[in-house]
C-alpha cells in the first residue's frame, strides 16, 4: 500500500509517498480502505522533530473509509460498512489503516468530513469533561473557530452551557451559527468578555494558546477552572491543567457522533482536502494558516 512517511526531520519536502506492507486487523480492530485521513498540528511537529525521536515515521491517527477486514471479536461492523475512527497504531495517512476505535457513518456524511471529526470530537469532549461543563455552565473557549474549538462550542451548547468564544473578526458570524457569543483575541479580551458576562465565566477551555492563560484565569476565577489543550509551558507556569490524552481519553464521544449530527447538535466541519500525493502542500497550508477548515488527505 501507499503511505505517507518521512525518514529525516525537516521541512515538508521530507515527506514521501512510499510502498509499505499492508497492515492486518488484530483482535478488536478493523482495517479500512482509507478514503480520507485527517491532518493535525501534531503531524508537522513530528515531521519537524519536535515530538518523537525515532525514524522513519508514518503519520495519521484518524481516518474514514470502508471496512475490508474485521479482527477477532468485532461484532458491530462487517466488511463493506462505512466508518470513521482512530488508529492507535498511527499510519492512517495511507491507502489502508487499522482502526482501534470507530463508529459507523450516516449515509449523508461524506468521507472527507468524517475524517475531520474523530480527533476533534475526542479532544473537545475530554476538555469539557475535565472542566465539568454541564447545564447552566458559562464557558469561555479560547480559539473557538478551529476544528477542536468549534466542536467544543457545539458539545458545550448541547450540554446546556452558555458559551463565549474567541476568534478573529472574520469568524464571528460562524461562531454565532454554532451558538456561541463571539469576542476578539487580544489585549482587550478580559474587557470584552466582561462586557458579555460582568461576573466572569465559570470555566475556560484554551484551544489556541497565544499566551491567553492569565486572562482566562482572571475571567474564570482561578487556575483550577481552566484547562488548556495548547499551552504546555503556560500550564506549568500558571498551574493550569494541560490535557493531551495521557490523563484519559473521551473515546465514548466517538460512539455519539451519528446521534450528534442527526439531532443537529454537531455540524459537519469545514474541510480543505488535498490528494494523498500532495501531503507536503497540505503541511504547508496547515503551518502557515492558509487552509480554510480542517485539512484532510483524500484517496480517489
Does residue 124 register a pLDDT over 90?
yes
CB atoms within 10 A of CB 264: 9
Other C-beta atoms lying within 10 Å of the C-beta of residue 221: 15
218-233 pLDDT tens trace: 999 999 999 999 999 9
Cβ count near 70 (within 10 Å) = 17
The pLDDT mean for the chain works out to 95
Report the alpha-carbon distance of residue 185 to residue 48 in Å, rounded: 28
Specify the higher pLDDT residue, 134 or 89: 134
Mean pLDDT of 27-47: 95
Say what the pLDDT of residue 99 is: 98
Instruction: Tell me what pLDDT residue 244 has.
Output: 85
Angstrom CA distances, 222 to 125, 162, 187, 204, stand at 22, 19, 19, 10
- Whole-number pLDDT of residue 7: 97
Domain 2-117+269-298: give its CATH superfamily: Medium-chain alcohol dehydrogenases, catalytic domain (3.90.180.10)
Confidence of residue 245 (pLDDT cuts 50, 70, 90): confident
Domain with CATH 3.40.50.720 in the chain: 120-242
Which is the CATH superfamily of the domain at 120-242? Answer: NAD(P)-binding Rossmann-like Domain (3.40.50.720)
Contact in structure between 300 and 275 (CB atoms under 8 Å):
yes
Q: What is the pLDDT of residues 69-123, one digit of tens each?
A: 999 999 999 999 999 999 998 999 999 999 999 999 988 999 999 999 999 999 9
Longest dimension (CA), the chain: 59
Is residue 300's pLDDT more than 90? no
**pLDDT band of 247, cuts 50, 70, 90:** confident
CATH 3.90.180.10 domain extents, the chain = 2-117+269-298
What is the distance, to the nearest Å, from the Cα of residue 132 to the centroid of all Cα atoms in its chain? 19
In the block, residue with C-alpha cell 452551557: 161
Amino acid 51: pLDDT: 86
Give CA–CA dist 138/134, Å, rounded: 9
Say if CB 254 and CB 101 are below 8 A apart: yes
**188-219 tens-digit pLDDT:** 999 999 999 999 999 999 999 889 999 999 99
pLDDT > 90? residue 270: no
pLDDT of residue 120: 94
Displacement of CA 115 from its chain's centroid (Å): 10
Tens of pLDDT, residue by residue over 41-69, are: 889 999 999 888 899 999 999 999 999 99
**229 CB neighbour count, 10 Å cutoff:** 26
What's the rounded Cα separation, in Å, for the pair 37 and 92?
6
Angle (CA) 137 141 142, round 5° = 155
What local confidence, expressed as pLDDT, does residue 289 receive? 76
pLDDT at position 153 over 90? yes
Bridge-based pairing state of the strands 138-142 and 203-206 = parallel
Cβ count within 10 A of residue 115 = 32
Which of 82, 111, 114, 85 lies closest to 97, judged by CA?
Answer: 85
57-58 and 2-6 as β-strands: parallel, antiparallel, unpaired?
A: antiparallel
Pull the grid cell for residue 86: 482512530
Which residues pair with residue 259 across a beta bridge? none
Per-residue model confidence as pLDDT tens digits over 5-28: 999 999 999 999 999 999 999 999
| Pick from 74, 43, 3, 1: nearest CA to 277 | 3
Amino acid at each position: 500500500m501507499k503511505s505517507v512517511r518521512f525518514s529525516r526531520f525537516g521541512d515538508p519536502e521530507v515527506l514521501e509517498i512510499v510502498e509499505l506492507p499492508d497492515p492486518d486487523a488484530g483482535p478488536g480492530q478493523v482495517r479500512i480502505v482509507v478514503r480520507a485521513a485527517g491532518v493535525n498540528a501534531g503531524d508537522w511537529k513530528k515531521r519537524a522533530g519536535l515530538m518523537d525521536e525515532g525514524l522513519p515515521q508514518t503519520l495519521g491517527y484518524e481516518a474514514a473509509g470502508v471496512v475490508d477486514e474485521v479482527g477477532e471479536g468485532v461484532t458491530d461492523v462487517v466488511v463493506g460498512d462505512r466508518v470513521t475512527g482512530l488508529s492507535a497504531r498511527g499510519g492512517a495517512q495511507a491507502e489502508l489503516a487499522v482502526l482501534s476505535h470507530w463508529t459507523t457513518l450516516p449515509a449523508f456524511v461524506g468521507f472527507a468530513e468524517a475524517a475531520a471529526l474523530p480527533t476533534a470530537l475526542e479532544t473537545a469532549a475530554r476538555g469539557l469533561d475535565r472542566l465539568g461543563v454541564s447545564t447552566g455552565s458559562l464557558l469561555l473557549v479560547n480559539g473557538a473557530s478551529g476544528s477542536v474549538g468549534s466542536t467544543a462550542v457545539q458539545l458545550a451548547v448541547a450540554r446546556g452551557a452558555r458559551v463565549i468564544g474567541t476568534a478573529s473578526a472574520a469568524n464571528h458570524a460562524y461562531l454565532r451559527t454554532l451558538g456561541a457569543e463571539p469576542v476578539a483575541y487580544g489585549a482587550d479580551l478580559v474587557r470584552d468578555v466582561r462586557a458579555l458576562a460582568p461576573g466572569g465565566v465559570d470555566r475556560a477551555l484554551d484551544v489556541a494558546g497565544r499566551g491567553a492563560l492569565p486572562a482566562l484565569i482572571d475571567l474564570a476565577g482561578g487556575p483550577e477552572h481552566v484547562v488548556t489543550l495548547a499551552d504546555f509551558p503556560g500550564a506549568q507556569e500558571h498551574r493550569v491543567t494541560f490535557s493531551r490524552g495521557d490523563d484519559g481519553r473521551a473515546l465514548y464521544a466517538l460512539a455519539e457522533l451519528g446521534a450528534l449530527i442527526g439531532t443537529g447538535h454537531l455540524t459537519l466541519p469545514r474541510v480543505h482536502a488535498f490528494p494523498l500525493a500532495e501531503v507536503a502542500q497540505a503541511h504547508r497550508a496547515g503551518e502557515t494558516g492558509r487552509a480554510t477548515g480542517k485539512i484532510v488527505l483524500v484517496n480517489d
